Amino acid sequence: MVAPRMLGPEVRSCYLQEVGFITAIGVQHDRTGTALARALAIAKALGGLEQGGIELTPHQEAVLDLSVEQALSPALRHVSSTFVQVMLEQGIPLEAVLTELFLSGEVERTYRLLRLEGYAAQMAHHSPISQYGQLSRADAYDHVDIAGRMRELVEHITSGAFAAEWDAESEADHPTLAKLREQALPRELVDWERELRQNLGEAAIKQET
């Protein structure tokens, strides 16, 4: 198994930029005695060892990957959507809220500092009031049983129930996926986001040039 910890298109992008990425590597059965060496060679050719590698079994990698998609991502999406709603209730323009969340790149760059320097070191880049606000309210959601719900979602993966669900969806030519995409990505939202990026963010700079 050679599993880049990166979105597919970004694998190529990181390769061309010569920055590489981290790769999960594992061997389920080694009949030849050279399986690990071959996996490492493939990972190196892809640029997947430039930033190091992690040894995982295929089962561990699958559970981790699917759990990010099914347990973590929906939680983050729900939190972000709720934050947008609360800010709109405060009379803050939607464009400003979305700028704060992702268009400005601040959150992305904060996570970059977290990646490069670690949690403790990156905290020093925040102002005292920011540090106080984050740390003094860190337990604000402790009463919410997020872990319990996540365990239920992960159990659906590890039990094989999701695999069966996805097999049925694939055999039926993905009718549920098509419906979910239509609900989550209506044409008016796609058009609105495109127009927003023409006026805010990096796309606005590229358009001017």
- Whole-number pLDDT of residue 185: 86
Asked if residue 98 belongs to a domain, the reply is: no
Q: How many domains does the chain have?
A: 2
In a domain, 192, yes or no: yes
Average pLDDT over residues 51-67: 95
pLDDT of 130: 94
Q: Is residue 78 part of a domain?
A: no
Which residue range forms the structural domain that includes residue 185?
A: 172-209
Asked whether residue 87 is assigned to any structural domain, the reply reads: no
State the average pLDDT for the chain.
Answer: 92
> Could you tell me if residue 128 is inside a domain?
no
CA angle 81, 122, 109 (to 5 degrees): 50
Over the stretch 119-155, which tens digit does the pLDDT of each residue have? 889 999 999 999 999 999 999 999 999 999 999 999 9
pTM, full prediction: 0.85
Most confident among 51-60, 100-109, 112-121 (mean pLDDT): 51-60
Q: What percent of the chain has pLDDT above 90?
A: 77
For residue 208, the model assigns a pLDDT of 58
